[in-house]
Amino acid sequence: MKDTDRLRGLYRKASRYYDILDWPCEHFRYKALRRELWRNLGGRILDAGAGTGRNGPFYPPNAEVVTADLSPEMLEKARRRIEAAGRKPHIAVTDALNMGFSGGEFDACVSTFLFCVLPDELQARALREIKRVLKPGGKVHILEYVYSQDRLRRLWMRTLSPLVERLYGARFDRRTDEHVRASGLKVVERRFVHSDTVLLIVAQA
Whether the pLDDT of residue 197 is over 60: the answer is: yes
pLDDT of residue 58: 96
pTM to 2 decimals?
A: 0.94
- Average confidence (pLDDT) over 98-107: 96
Interval 43-78: pLDDT, tens: 999 999 999 999 999 999 999 999 999 999 999 999
**Tally of structural domains, the chain:** 1
**Alpha-carbon torsion (59, 127, 93, 10), positive or negative:** negative
Contacts of 17 (CB under 8 A, 6+ apart): 167
**Where does residue 36 rank: exposed (0-12), middle (13-18), buried (19+ CB within 10 A)?**
middle
Alpha-carbon distance 172 to 145, whole Å? 6
- Structural domain range at position 53: 3-204
pLDDT of residue 4: 82
The pLDDT confidence band at residue 15, using thresholds 50, 70 and 90, is: very high
